[in-house]
Chain A
Amino acid sequence: MAGTGKAHLRDEGDTIMRVEDLVVEFPVGRNAKVHAVSGISIDLAQGETLGLVGESGCGKSTTAKAMIQLPPPTAGTVKFNGTDLTKLSGEALRQTRTDLQIIFQDPISSLNPRRKVGEVVAEPLNVWGPHDEAEQIAKVDAMLEAVGIDPAVARPKHAHEFSGGQCQRISIARALVLEPQVIICDEPVSALDVSVQAQILNLLEDLKAKYELTLVFIAHDLAVVKNISDRVAVMYLGKMCEVSEANDLYERPAHPYTRLLVDSSPQPDPFVEIDDMTEVNSELPSPITPPSGCRFRTRCDLATELCERVEPQMRKVADDHYVACHFPLLPVIEEAPFAEADGATDRSSDS
């Protein structure tokens, strides 16, 4: 059974990370399993920010964690600079940790409250070196300064003495201290107040430029994801729906689910009329027994018998804009190489 295709993957030489056919399943009860991620492929070009959006439980965190083998996926490959991480173990896998870092949603609980900020940021250095104290302090100070915190003031304090936004800066400093190539940010601003959120988003943009970082940015807020991302991938129930350059995705969503997300996002503009009579079906099917064919079909207005039977493949609708839908909202300009579509057409071209 095919995944949702790989037409959106770029030439391997142009990317530093390439995930293919990623599957992550969690056993639940007897004989049942949660199909958290079911055959996802995505890649990362050096220096870009990939946004991952989708509703709660669609598998964003699971995908991100599988990319750094925490835990390793049930199936699929994760190539980082040409090496398949899923084939590595022990020391070889451990060595990749310096290059791949992750930042979590809750800044306060992800920092050890009993340790001083200086120690918290230095933690990765104790494992990876340098071990020389003066060198460590110099690195810690440079990172704290980079995230906009005065090192002399912060180093001797405890994490709990800082606000949520400052704690998130500190955890960013800790992620940066090993000079990683890729940082995965799992909802880094979701727990923060709007005013602080803007500071962290701007900070991540600055750091990305300064340290030539590649970012994976996960959030459920569409506006936040658009703001920071170069490319955005929309996930639904363990599958990839649409992958596109950020602006085009929001201007011209090609997948019915993306359009639903865009239309549902609250606009901070009172002059935008809200249609509050149209009913949207917001109930997510179970990831234990996901729908056959297209997983979105139970909520899709355009669903047909084909959608129930055949899983849609990624197809190209514009430059750097791909969608996995039998009846996309934009005309398909290039068929998938191994499409098993029988009679699948796009709606816009038959009308």
Chain B
Amino acid sequence: MPGIRNFTLVIRGERRERDPSMTATSSAIGGRLNRDSDDLLVVEDLKTHFEVPAGMVKAVDGVSFSLGRGRTLGVVGESGSGKTVLSRTLMNLNLGSNVHSSGSAIFEGRQLVGVKPKQLRDLWGLDIAMVFQDPMTSLNPVVKVGRQVTEHIRKHLGVSKAEARETAIQLLRSVRIPEAESRFEAYPHELSGGMRQRVSIAIALACGPKLLLADEPTTALDVTVQHQILNLLAQQRRERNMAMVLVTHDLGVVAGRTDEIAVMYAGRIVEKASTKVLFSDVRHPYTEALLRSIPKTSNRNHTRLAAIAGRPPDLINPPSGCKFSPRCPYAQPKCFEEEPPEVNAFEDHLFSCHYPVGTEENKAAWDRNLAAGRPETVAVATGSVSEVDIRAKGEEILADLTTSEGAD
């Protein structure tokens, strides 16, 4: 799209002039900044807990990662694993008195955690923007979409009405809204879901953010619309060298669209690696289970899926030791007692597991569990889905093992 690049530069230049304090480092933690000047965002031991009558919900429980300029991080994990709470914590959006956040998230030298939202107001919508699953959460249903875009531009950039309109139309065009001028007068409900999401993306991109947090931006949309929105984000990201955190439960969405992937389980990152490495050299049993449980169009029909046994963990009283242990087919006594430390295998492939996939120890753990008829292991081995069935199959395996041992 010709023009859009220049237009961003102009805006950014203008904004800098208006607010020179922008680059000042107000609350940088000593030394961190210099360690890796390429990092736009450095998150360390981030925690967000919610106090509820039953106890403390440990929604995000010690997350660390860093993100370079222009890089894309995919965050995946099952429902309730803390993906949304993580992105909302980074946006300082967890308002409410029952919230306890700790740890640190430093964006260009500025601390995002534990500071008053007021102090960060100049960042939001400007340097950091967010796109939500439901575009209606960021759009006002009773205001025409054109005005919503222009108001955002005027509020942050202080340009004239006419200039804002010009810019807004250009933006709507850049997000491929056909007949942008006439759509200007439409209310959000008069647009399709995909179109609304494009408008909210236009608003998010309006001030040329350096970081975009996209929380399930395409989950509610049809595949063709999803494809288009993801393409749009990729193009805009390239053109603007914008970094992005793409949160989704869909491994298909992050596979071709991210540099790195972090897999979350029970409020923690259990594995993180470059996207290609994660898919080809998976080490954490939960990641492996996630990858095996999704149907693929490249498989024949009726391919048996490997379902993950059990239920998501209780975040108030999480399992002791490794939080995945009650569902893990490889779990050993050590797993129930000791929380596995995070190890960095090589080239920033991080994971936390006592018996990582692909190792001899892992294979031995599997054999032991199968021989003992551990239900979670039998379920994966046989593809059984019913508890009764799993019990029966477990006994069968046991019987087989005993007879074959007897025969020796």
CB neighbours (8 Å) of A246 from chain B are 301
Given contacts A268-B296, A283-B178, contact A195 B308 (CB under 8 A): yes
One of A5-13, A67-75, A144-152, A323-331 at the interface: A144-152
CB of A271 within 8 A of chain B? Answer: yes
Complex contact B256–A202 (CB within 8 A)? no
Which of B231, B278, B290, B307 is in CB contact (< 8 Å) with A199? B307
Which of B192, B280, B305 is in CB contact (< 8 Å) with A227? B305
Complex contact A206–B385 (CB within 8 A)? yes
Complex contact A148–B302 (CB within 8 A)? no
Complex contact A264–B305 (CB within 8 A)? no
CB of B295 within 8 A of chain A? Answer: yes
Given contacts A195-B293, A198-B308, contact A270 B224 (CB under 8 A): no
Complex contact A280–B227 (CB within 8 A)? yes
Flag B216-230 by CB within 8 Å of A: 1 or 0 each: 000000111111101
CB of B316 within 8 A of chain A? Answer: no
Q: How far is the CA of A81 from the CA of B312 in the complex (A)?
A: 44
CB of B389 within 8 A of chain A? Answer: yes
CB neighbours (8 Å) of B307 from chain A are 195-196, 198-199, 202
Given contacts A55-B222, A195-B307, A265-B223, contact A203 B301 (CB under 8 A): no
Complex contact A268–B276 (CB within 8 A)? no
Nearest B residue to A260, CB-CB = B224
Complex contact A280–B389 (CB within 8 A)? no
Which of A205, A267, A271 is in CB contact (< 8 Å) with B276? A271
Which of A55, A194, A269, A274 is in CB contact (< 8 Å) with B257? A274
CB of B29 within 8 A of chain A? Answer: no
Complex contact A193–B305 (CB within 8 A)? no
Taking each of B291, B297, B387, which has the highest tally of chain A beta carbons within 10 Å of its own beta carbon?
Answer: B297
The count of chain A contact residues (Cβ–Cβ below 8 Å) is: 56
Complex contact B255–A266 (CB within 8 A)? yes
How many A-B Cβ pairs are below 8 Å? 168
Taking each of B225, B252, B301, which has the highest tally of chain A beta carbons within 10 Å of its own beta carbon?
Answer: B301
Given contacts A260-B224, A264-B223, A268-B252, contact A284 B192 (CB under 8 A): yes
Flag B157-201 by CB within 8 Å of A: 1 or 0 each: 000000000000000000010100000000000001111000000
Q: How far is the CA of A213 from the CA of B296 in the complex (A)?
A: 24
Complex contact B385–A148 (CB within 8 A)? yes
Complex contact A270–B386 (CB within 8 A)? no
Given contacts A193-B249, A227-B302, A265-B252, contact A199 B385 (CB under 8 A): yes
Q: How far is the CA of A274 from the CA of B234 in the complex (A)?
A: 11
CB neighbours (8 Å) of B176 from chain A are 279
Nearest A residue to B228, CB-CB = A282
Taking each of A205, A265, A267, A268, which has the highest tally of chain B beta carbons within 10 Å of its own beta carbon?
Answer: A268
CB of A304 within 8 A of chain B? Answer: no
Nearest A residue to B220, CB-CB = A56
Complex contact B178–A222 (CB within 8 A)? no
Complex contact B389–A148 (CB within 8 A)? yes
Q: How far is the CA of A257 from the CA of B294 in the complex (A)?
A: 24
Nearest B residue to A220, CB-CB = B222
Complex contact B224–A282 (CB within 8 A)? yes
CB of A262 within 8 A of chain B? Answer: yes
Which of B194, B255, B308, B383 is in CB contact (< 8 Å) with A270? B255
CB of A224 within 8 A of chain B? Answer: yes
CB of A272 within 8 A of chain B? Answer: yes
CB neighbours (8 Å) of A206 from chain B are 385-386
- Chain B contacts with A in 377-392, Cβ cutoff 8 A: 383, 385-389
Nearest A residue to B304, CB-CB = A202
Return A22 CB to nearest CB of chain B, in Å.
23
Nearest B residue to A227, CB-CB = B295
CB neighbours (8 Å) of B7 from chain A are none
Complex contact B293–A272 (CB within 8 A)? no
CB neighbours (8 Å) of A262 from chain B are 297
Complex contact A276–B231 (CB within 8 A)? yes
CB neighbours (8 Å) of A197 from chain B are 293
Complex contact B306–A198 (CB within 8 A)? yes
Return B52 CB to nearest CB of chain A, in Å.
17
Nearest A residue to B249, CB-CB = A194
Complex contact A148–B387 (CB within 8 A)? yes
Q: A227-B301, A228-B301 are in contact. List 10 more A-B contacts (CB 8 A).
A: A150-B388, A194-B251, A199-B307, A201-B305, A223-B252, A266-B255, A268-B251, A280-B227, A282-B194, A283-B178
Residues of A that sit less than 8 Å from B by CB: 55-56, 145-150, 163, 193-199, 201-203, 205-206, 220-224, 226-230, 246-247, 250, 260-274, 276-277, 279-280, 282-284
Residues of B that sit less than 8 Å from A by CB: 78-79, 176, 178, 192-195, 222-228, 230-231, 234-235, 249-253, 255-257, 275-276, 278-280, 289-291, 293-308, 311-312, 383, 385-389
